[in-house]
Amino acid sequence: MYKLYYYPGNANLAPHMLLEELGVPYELALVDRTKNAQHSAEYLKLNPNGRIPTLIDGELVLFETAAICLHLVDSHPEAGLAPAVGTAERAHFYKWLVYLTNTLQAELIMYFYPERWAKDDSAVAQVKAHAEARVGGMLDLLDRTLAENGGPYLLGKRLTAVDFYLFMLSRWTRMMHNPARNRVQLGAFLKMMVERPSVRRTLEQEGLGEPLF
C-alpha cells in the first residue's frame, strides 16, 4: 500500500488525485505545516528537503512531485495515464510535465515566496508582481495549446497525469488578478476536471473548499 505525506492543497494534490484515479490502496499522512512538521527530525529522515509531498512504496521513499507522478503511472501502465514509452506522445508527455514542474511551478514559487529573492517591502512587491505577470504568460501558452490541439486535455483527446498536474497548478492561481479560470480553454478544462470523481474525492479528503480553482 502506498503512503502519501501531504498538507491540504500543497504539491501533493497531483499525486493524490492520481492515486484516486488509479483506484489503488493508499493511506494519507498529514504533515502539519502550521506546526512546521515538514522540518521535524522524523520527516527529514524521509525527505531531507523538508518539502511536501513524500511517497512511500514498500522500501522505496520518493520525493519531488513530478517524480512521484511518473512512478505512479509507470507502476500502473494498465491505467493508460501516460503514453507508451518511445512514442512521440510520450515525448510530449515528458515535455509538458517538465514544463509544468520546472517552469510554471517554479515561477509560482517566486510568486508565493517573493521574500526569498528580496528583502525590503518594495522589492518583495516587485518580485511578486513580475512573477505574476510571467505566470500569466505561461497560462496564456497553455490556453493556446488546449485550443490548438483540440483538447479537452493537454495532450489532446487523452487524459494523462499531466492534466492532474495542470489542475493543481491552475488552482494555485485562483487568488491572482487574472487566474487560470479566466481563460476560455483553461476555464473549460478546470470545470471538466473538477467534475471527475477522483478529483472531487481528493478535494474533499484534503478539506479544500471554494474557490476550488
Confidence of residue 136 (pLDDT cuts 50, 70, 90): very high
Secondary structure class of 4 (helix, strand, coil): strand
Query: Average pLDDT of 3-7?
Result: 98
Superfamily of domain 2-79: Glutaredoxin (3.40.30.10)
- Provide the grid cell at 212: 476550488
Query: Average pLDDT of 134-147?
Result: 98
Q: Could you tell me what percent of the chain has a pLDDT over 70?
A: 100
Q: Where are the beta strands (DSSP E) in the chain?
A: 2-6, 26-30, 54-57, 60-63
Confidence of residue 9 (pLDDT cuts 50, 70, 90): very high
Contact 57, 66 (CB under 8 A): no
- Cα separation of 128 and 108, whole Å? 9
Domain limits, the chain: 2-79, 88-196
> Is the model's pTM score more than 0.95?
yes
Looking at every residue in the chain, the average pLDDT score rounds to 97
Confidence of residue 159 (pLDDT cuts 50, 70, 90): very high
Q: Where does residue 180 rank: exposed (0-12), middle (13-18), buried (19+ CB within 10 A)?
A: buried
Query: Average pLDDT of 106-120?
Result: 95
Query: Average pLDDT of 11-37?
Result: 98
pLDDT of residue 83: 98
Domain 88-196, architecture per CATH = Up-down Bundle (1.20)
Query: Average pLDDT of 43-58?
Result: 98
pLDDT of residue 94: 98
